[in-house]
């Protein structure tokens, strides 16, 4: 394809995606993919200016085709511009450098940092303090009059505290709690769910029936007062305070920073903190705070030069499914995994994503060759959310459920009422590999340096055939050292980690055994209640059910597990190698469980612990972690910049509020 054709194709694709988004309230591709296409086009147009064209999407903001809209069109008094995006500190530095370069030497520049709400932008006009008009962004020049609908947003004042003439700009959002409720209801009614809160907000605002707005709980936050520089304000932050005092909800935080480095520190902070907010944020907005500098800096046709957006790593991206592999897990469950065209998601490269089971594939109508949305929820493996049917070419093929195990070819079984298929072969190599990977994993024996690749290699070479063999690996020291990429040092390290794992607590060993339904928390309960493996093995289902936190399904699974000869052999083998099969005295005696019976929660940034570490410490000493402030909470540990949890705890009044140092003292008391 020559350059001209490439440019034409990019413009056509971008226009199609953009038009679809603005008239259907849902996207065919993710923002990141869309940005990438835009960037490609922009680069080509810059490199080959002979092909520049004023109708190119790079010259426009938002919707490119306003024909299909259902509302009255209104021309904005001032165009509603967009923002350029940045993704890392060096791009922020480029921005601050650029700002400095455009200003006279030694100009003192402050930056206001705000959350970037992920909804749809709106411009609202008040005359003599009365709300008279609300218009969507549209193509940036012409938007849609949605006044009838906007007035249904409860938090938005219809009359201001003062009779002023102002135009403000902000973002209409659907709070996350409302979004979840809405999707749940839609699912129950058999309707399509909204892919994300932004689409839901957009779909809701553009409803012809305005009563739906109130019902669904739409909200709006504002971040911009038009013409603030001519109203006597010196800074953007000052103008936001002004509108706040008039009764308007603003984006909440507006922090002042002096440098790219300082901005990045606060962005990192909010990157974590945003998870606690009830609305979706897709990044932060950095604005030059001094209003008198805005004019000097000016704007391009698309965006102002005094502001820029920083985008948080995306949780959702689009890519293509190249194929499907059926994976056998440690329990024999056979799971479909999508093999993807590699994409970046939340900062890591992703090539595979879970498709859960065949029923899900059918329900979501997913085919090989489809463009799909994938998502990574907090630390979980990526999952395929939905396929984009509009992008099908006809060459896509159906995914077929296997009748035989893809590893050992045994005929698969499906238990009654279950959706999953399973391999019933107890010695299926796929299953054994899964058991081994689980055994060495972090929550179980946590054998450092023993990843799934090594498990795979050891199995392939015949050095291990089952879990117990891990503890005999030292016999193969020489052979291991001769292996590609292993080397003397890493072999010694691996063998040392294996030895060290023999000291892991009884509860970790219990977890590592891979009893169905027993994870690290239930393993701890079982370890504490039984004291040693022999007692546990001899417990009846009823006795097991009496242990707090152990339900009937788990009790039965534990009972069955220890009635399986192979599993008993595993226990005996591991015992012979010296693994811990009884509760450590230190944690058994309640007196040493210094935090026993106490509940904890922490807030803010801690200086001595990572989030997971403090939780572990609390549990290790017998305490319990709570997930929210409630009357059941005994201690709130406050770090730096403690947020709303602190206020809530103070309001309740009975909660002891302690510092991190006081918590450490508590742990060290004997």
Nearest approach in angstroms of CB 313 to ligand IVH is 16
Closer CB to ligand IVH, 31 or 396, in the complex: 31
Q: Annotated catalytic residue: which of 36, 93, 116, 351?
A: 116
Q: Is the CB of 228 or the CB of 423 nearer to ligand IVH?
A: 228
Indicate the residue among 25 and 114 with the shorter CB distance to ligand IVH: 114
Could you report how far apart the first and last alpha carbons of the chain are, in Å? 75
CB closer to ligand IVH, 251 vs 318: 251
Rule CB under 6 A: which of 398-437 touch ligand IVH? none
Binding of ligand IVH by 286 (CB under 6 A):
no
Q: Select from 15-23, 111-119, 451-459, 533-541 the region that touches ligand IVH (CB under 6 A).
A: 111-119
Question: Whose Cβ is closer to ligand IVH: residue 167's or residue 396's?
Answer: 167
For residue 285, give the nearest of 312, 316, 315, 248 by alpha carbon: 312
List the x/- string, 143-172, binding to ligand IVH by CB under 6 A: ----------------------------x-
Beta bridge partners of 323: 339
What would the two tokens of residue 51 be?
């092909």
Taking CB under 6 A as the rule, does residue 117 contact ligand IVH? yes
* 114 assigned binding-site residue: yes
Q: What is the DSSP letter of 57?
A: G
For ligand IVH, the closer CB: 29 or 527: 29
DSSP H helical ranges for 280-343: 292-297
450 Rama class: left (phi>0) / alpha (psi -120 to 50) / beta: beta
Encoded tokens for 318: 């689009």
* 254 among annotated binding-site residues: no
Site for ligand IVH in 208-237 (CB under 6 A): 223-224
User: Do the beta carbons of residue 175 and residue 222 sit within 8 Å?
Assistant: no
Supply φ then ψ for residue 254, to 5 degrees.
-150, 95
- Please identify, using beta-carbon distances, which residue of 85 and 147 lies nearer to ligand IVH: 85
Q: What DSSP element (H or E) covers 499?
A: helix 487-500
Contacts of 573 by beta carbon, 8 Å cutoff, 6+ apart: 467, 468
Active site residue 116: yes
Distance CA 357, CA 399 (A): 11
Helices (H) and strands (E) in the chain, counts: 25, 21
Is residue 219 part of an annotated ligand binding site?
A: no
Q: Please, which residue, 198 or 386, has the CB nearer to ligand IVH?
A: 198
Q: Does 304 bind ligand IVH (CB under 6 A)?
A: yes
Q: Which residue in the set 31, 33, 114, 370 belongs to the binding site for ligand IVH (CB under 6 A)?
A: 114
Q: Are 317 and 343 in contact (CB under 8 A)?
A: yes
Give the number of other Cβ atoms within 10 Å of residue 289's Cβ: 22
- Scanning 302-310, 444-452, 566-574, 610-618 for contacts with ligand IVH by CB under 6 A, the matching segment is 302-310
What span, in angstroms and rounded, lies between the C-alpha atoms of 111 and 631?
41
Q: Is 311 in the site for ligand IVH (CB under 6 A)?
A: no
Q: Which of 264, 254, 303, 258 is nearest to 91 (CA)?
A: 264
DSSP state of 466: S
The span of 67-75, 304-312, 460-468, 579-587 binding ligand IVH (CB under 6 A) equals 304-312
Question: Is 289 a residue that touches ligand IVH (CB under 6 A)?
Answer: no
Looking at the DSSP bridge assignments, the partners of residue 338 are 324, 353
171 is in an annotated binding site: yes
Helix 3-24 with 31-47: angle, nearest 10 deg: 150
Kindly state the smallest distance separating residue 10's Cβ from ligand IVH, in Å: 20
Question: Rounded to 5, what percent of the chain is helix, strand, coil?
Answer: 40, 20, 40
* Of residues 18 and 121, the one with the C-beta less far from ligand IVH: 121
Q: Which residue has tokens 């190698």?
A: 577
Q: Under the criterion CB under 6 A, does residue 121 sit at the interface with ligand IVH?
A: yes
Contact 130, 158 (CB under 8 A): yes
Alpha helices by DSSP H, listed for 103-140, are none
Are the CB atoms for 239 and 250 separated by under 8 Å?
Answer: no
Tokens for 309, please give them. Answer: 């957006």
Q: Tell whether residue 314 is a contact of ligand IVH (CB under 6 A).
A: no
Q: Is 257 annotated as a binding residue?
A: no
Write down the least CB distance from residue 266 to ligand IVH, Å: 14
Is 251 near ligand IVH (CB under 6 A)?
yes
**Where is 454: in which H helix or E strand?**
helix 452-461
CB of 12 to ligand IVH, least distance (A): 23
Rounded least distance, CB 98 to ligand IVH, Å: 16
Strands 635-638 and 219-225, sheet pairing? unpaired
Site mask, ligand IVH, residues 83-102, x = CB under 6 A?
x-------------------
Q: Of the candidates 7, 32, 220, 285, which one interacts with ligand IVH according to CB under 6 A? A: 285
- The residue nearest ligand IVH at its CB is 121
The binding site for NAD(+) consists of 31-35, 82-83, 114, 137, 171, 287, 311
Q: Name the residues that contact ligand IVH, by CB under 6 A.
A: 81-83, 114, 116-117, 121, 171, 223-224, 251, 285, 304, 307, 309
Residues designated catalytic? 116
The binding site consists of 31-35, 82-83, 114, 137, 171, 287, 311, 405, 408, 423, 428
The binding site for Zn(2+) consists of 405, 408, 423, 428
């Amino acid at each position: 394809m020559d350059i001209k054709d490439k440019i034409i194709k990019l413009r056509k694709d971008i226009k199609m995606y953009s038009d679809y988004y603005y008239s259907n309230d849902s996207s065919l591709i993710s923002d990141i993919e869309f940005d990438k296409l835009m960037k490609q086009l922009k680069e080509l147009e810059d490199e080959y200016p002979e092909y520049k064209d004023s109708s190119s999407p790079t010259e426009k903001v938002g919707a490119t085709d306003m024909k299909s809209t259902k509302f009255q069109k209104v021309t904005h008094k001032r165009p509603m511009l967009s923002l350029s995006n940045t993704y890392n500190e060096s791009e922020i530095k480029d921005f601050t450098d650029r700002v400095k370069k455009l200003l006279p030497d030694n100009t003192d520049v402050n930056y206001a940092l705000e959350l970037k709400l992920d909804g749809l932008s709106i411009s609202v006009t008040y005359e003599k303090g009365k709300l008279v008009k609300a218009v969507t962004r549209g193509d940036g020049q012409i938007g849609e009059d949605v006044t009838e609908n906007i007035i249904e947003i409860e938090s938005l004042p219809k009359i201001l505290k003062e009779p002023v003439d102002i135009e403000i700009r902000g973002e209409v959002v659907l709070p996350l709690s409302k979004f979840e409720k809405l999707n749940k209801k839609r699912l129950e009614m058999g309707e399509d769910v909204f892919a994300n809160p932004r689409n839901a907000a957009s779909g809701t605002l553009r409803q012809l029936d305005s009563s739906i707005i109130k019902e669904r709980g739409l909200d709006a936050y504002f971040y911009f007062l038009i013409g603030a520089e001519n109203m006597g304000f010196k800074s953007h932050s000052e103008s936001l305070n002004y509108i706040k005092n008039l009764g308007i909800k603003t984006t909440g935080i507006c922090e002042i920073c002096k440098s790219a480095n300082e901005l990045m520190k606060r962005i990192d902070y909010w990157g974590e903190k945003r998870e606690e907010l009830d609305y979706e944020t897709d990044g932060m907005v950095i604005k030059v705070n001094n209003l008198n500098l805005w004019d000097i800096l000016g704007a391009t046709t698309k965006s102002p030069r005094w502001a820029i957006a920083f985008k948080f790593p995306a949780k959702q991206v689009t890519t293509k499914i190249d194929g499907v592999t059926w994976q056998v897990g440690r329990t024999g469950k056979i799971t479909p995994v999508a093999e993807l065209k590699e994409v970046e998601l939340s900062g890591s490269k992703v090539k595979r994503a879970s498709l859960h089971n065949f029923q899900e594939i059918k329900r979501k109508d997913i085919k090989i060759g489809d463009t799909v949305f994938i998502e990574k929820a907090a630390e979980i493996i990526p999952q395929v959310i939905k396929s984009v049917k509009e992008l099908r070419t006809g060459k896509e093929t159906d995914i077929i459920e296997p009748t035989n195990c893809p590893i050992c070819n045994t005929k698969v079984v499906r238990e009654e009422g279950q959706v999953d298929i399973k391999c019933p072969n107890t010695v299926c190599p796929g299953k054994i590999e899964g058991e081994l990977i689980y055994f060495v994993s972090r929550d179980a024996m946590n054998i450092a340096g023993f990843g799934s690749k090594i498990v795979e290699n050891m199995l392939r070479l015949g050095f291990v055939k089952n879990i117990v063999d891990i503890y005999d690996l030292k016999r193969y020291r020489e052979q291991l050292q001769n292996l590609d990429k292993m080397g003397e040092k890493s072999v010694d390290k691996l063998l040392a980690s294996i030895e060290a794992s023999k000291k892991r607590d009884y509860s970790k060993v219990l977890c590592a055994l891979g009893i169905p339904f027993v994870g690290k928390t239930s393993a701890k309960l079982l370890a504490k209640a039984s004291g040693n493996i022999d007692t546990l093995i001899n417990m009846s289902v009823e006795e097991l059910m009496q242990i707090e936190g152990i339900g009937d399904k788990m009790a039965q699974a534990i009972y069955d597990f220890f009635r399986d000869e192979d599993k008993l052999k595993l226990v005996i083998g591991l015992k012979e190698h010296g693994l811990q099969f009884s509760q450590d005295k230190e944690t058994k005696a309640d007196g040493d469980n210094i935090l026993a019976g106490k509940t904890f929660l922490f807030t803010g940034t801690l200086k001595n612990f990572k989030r997971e570490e403090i939780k572990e410490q609390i549990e290790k000493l017998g305490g319990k972690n709570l997930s929210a402030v409630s009357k059941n909470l005994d201690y709130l540990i406050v770090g730096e910049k403690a947020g709303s949890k602190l206020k809530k705890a103070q309001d309740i009044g009975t909660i002891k509020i302690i510092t991190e140092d006081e918590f450490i003292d508590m742990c060290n008391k004997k």
